[in-house]
Structure 1
Amino acid sequence: MVADDLIKSILIKNQSDNLPEDCLVKSNFLSLYENFQSIDYMKDRAILSTKNEYVDMLNDRIIKQLPGEGKKFYSFDEAVDDRNHHYQQEFLSVATKWTTTPQADIFAITTNVKPSINYITRHNKPDTRREITLMNISGMLMCATLFGDLATNEGSILEEEIKYKPIIALSDFKISIYQGTSISSQIISTLCINPKIELASELREWFQLEEAAKAKGSPSMLFKNAKEIHISDIMHTSQNSIQAQYCTFKAKITTILNRLEPWFYACKGCDKKVDTDVSKECLNDKYHRIINDPLPMYLVKILMENGTDNTRVTLFDAAETLIRCKAEKFITEKKYKNNHSPYFQKFVLNIEKTFKFLVKLDEKTKDERGEGLNSSSADILVAELLFTPI
């Protein structure tokens, strides 16, 4: 009986033809028209909701009841004359409404999601992180690190949906362009998956066109727009900008240094090389996670020349275009058919062929790139490289 009385006392009944949401607003904000300018009146009332989208909907219904001309504010970076601290500074720029005007630092396609990694922070507290790879509408790849709940919750959703290449909107992430673009989440960061906005639709359409072109062997937009330079320009020219830049160059493959075993096994969480014959633990993980199924990845080392210049290039994921199959399939074929594997034979036939490469230049100076090498020989170690046969 007591329970029934308690339920009746907190239950809000809809006694009119109005929508239930309007009855909820009216019961909590009595005399709203007369008191909407009172800070004490507004801050002492709240309607709790299970989802942000419901909060946005209720806010809209309340705002529509307020008198006066409506104004649109995209964000607040500072509270003016807030002597009583009614507005929490760290939440002023947080955006949660993704169905109308987007307020995000980055809109991108998710191309890869790594497993989450548990680790100990410098304050000796357990935490979780996860690396994801993004591609923006210019075709540039970026790596973002999710921490805490974002790594566990949203990161798990992205991992499950990665085959559909979900679009994400990042807001209030920490972005650094020093020595390459670095993106990482903060306490106030928000991540929205597949926001229902026009910009997301445009990004999806662009990505589908890029994938279709890639399937036909056509170069990407990033490849087409990159400036063509000479090998010597890469080795002997410093970057004026602190941002990474892309460029292309032509060169002939003279030798594949590790053609008999162009792969390694990596930890799925950090992509670092592991040797399960020596240790079953990932040494890069502070929790020393057990590795039961290391990930096979390409690592192809080739010598190239262009006129009087020569260089050594290391290919990682880009080697898949050269070998024309996944690393796991190449290893299996090589194991059972040895040098008679059709993939291996196509692979070595690339020697003495000329290619056009897309390479990402970071902020290293010319001395750092060519350290220990003479003017006619240089060493370019790059993980992101695309190419088109000439």
Structure 2
Amino acid sequence: MAINEGGLLENQVGERLIVAITDVQKKEFQGKVQLHTSDISTIDINPACQQFHKLQKWFTTKKQKSLIEELLMIKMFENTQKINLEDVIQNRQSLKEGALYYFIGTVDMIENKSKPWYDACQNCTRSVIQTNDGVECRSCSDAQIVQRYRLTLNIILGTATATVTLFEDAATVYIGCSVNDYIQSTAEDEKSSKYFRDLETKSNKQYKFLIQLDERAQTQDNHLIVVAEAIERIQPKQKEETKQAVPYEKKRTKKNLKTNNAPIDKSIKIDSQKKGMTIT
């Protein structure tokens, strides 16, 4: 622990491990005090120890894993046919059942941003139910509980609407963190969570939604209910600044204007063939 708050602790360098942390948030989760870092947090350790290198490697690997998952999802869209949301609703019979398609839509609202997860069976990932004896999974005998993402989005595109559910991988890309990190960040106060605040800013943004036309894709009253296998944010087009060539034009000064408007002096004769003038 660092002592003498704000000091450099130079006299203790080499005697004990010093950890200096800035721009962190103190929170409490399940009765334990935790320090949460953010994008602007800084952690300095002197001297560097083996545990520090392990922590650094874990953090780097975690960020790379998240990036790889996002890149893999983007790759899934390359060989997939694009369709309109309205076509899925009104002309589904013309589409191949069980095939993958993607459509573009705007996020109108997040239905369950306060709790975008559910208690799942660790073995089969299905939702568990509460009983008098604890929890029970109706699909298997495993009663181990884990939290998994289940994020529900309301999507609009023109007059067509859809309810799109994002499960673990797609929701992780959309929210930007694992479900455990999200739960911990909102445990004390959800509005202090960076991820929760980011969710509020993602409304009115356009995304690509990769869907499979199977039994999970249902149409009711011009409204599609479907699960998205993958998502990709559509970045706003950058305005390209083009510089147009401005033709050169000699500006006439007030003096020139007066000269041009002055009466013609008969003593000056212009010879058009010689492109000059002679004085007579």
Return the TM-score normalized by structure 1: 0.39
The answer to whether residue 226 in structure 2 is matched with residue 374 in structure 1 is: no
Matched, 1:238 2:93: yes
Is 1:251 the counterpart of 2:105 in the alignment? yes
Instruction: Give, in whole Å, the separation in 1 of the partners of 2:85 and 2:112.
Output: 22
The structure whose Rg is larger is 2
- Shift, 1:213, TM fit: 7.6
Residue 148 of structure 2 aligns to a residue whose secondary structure is strand
- In structure 1, the partner of 2:79 is 225
User: Where does structure 1 lack aligned partners over 5 or more consecutive residues?
Assistant: 1-210
What aligned pairs does 1:159-238 form with structure 2 within 5 A after superposition? 214=68, 217=71, 220-236=74-90, 237-238=92-93
CA distance in 2, matches of 1:216, 1:264: 22
Alpha-carbon distance, 1:277 to partner: 7.0
* Alignment-derived partner of residue 178 in structure 2: 326
Confirm whether residue 314 of structure 1 aligns to residue 165 of structure 2: yes
Q: Secondary structure at the match of 2:188?
A: helix
Q: Alignment length, in residue pairs?
A: 169
Letter of the 1:389 counterpart: I
Q: Distance in 1 between matches of 2:69 and 2:214?
A: 28
Asked if 1 retains the 8 angstrom alpha-carbon contact of 2:209 and 2:229, the reply is no
Please, which of 138, 146, 159 is the counterpart of residue 295 of structure 1? 146
**Number of the residue aligned with 2:126:** 272
Tell me, what secondary structure is at the counterpart of 1:224?
coil
- 1:305 corresponds to 2:144: no
Q: Equivalent of 1:262, from 106, 111, 116?
A: 116
2:136 is the counterpart of 1:282: yes
Match of 1:360 among 212, 215, 236: 212
Residues 228 and 248, structure 1, Cα contact 8 Å, conserved in 2 = yes
TM-superposed CA distance for 1:336, in Å, is 2.4
Q: Aligned with 2:153: secondary structure?
A: strand
1:256 maps to a residue whose letter is I
Q: State the distance in 1 between where 2:72 and 2:128 align.
A: 35
Q: Which amino acid aligns with 1:229?
A: I
- Looking at secondary structure, tell me which structure has more helix per residue: 1
The percent identity for this pair of structures is 23
Bigger fraction of residues in strand:
2
Does residue 349 in structure 1 map to residue 198 in structure 2? no
CA contact (8 A) 2:106 2:207 kept: yes
Q: CA RMSD of the aligned region, Å?
A: 2.7
Take 1:257 and 1:330, find their aligned partners in 2: how far apart are those partners? 16
CA deviation digits over 1:132-161, x for unaligned, max 9?
A: xxxxxxxxxxxxxxxxxxxxxxxxxxxxxx
Contact kept, 8 Å, 1:214 with 1:220, in 2: the verdict is no
Shift of 1:246: 1.2
| Contact 2:129 2:137 (8 Å CA) reproduced | no
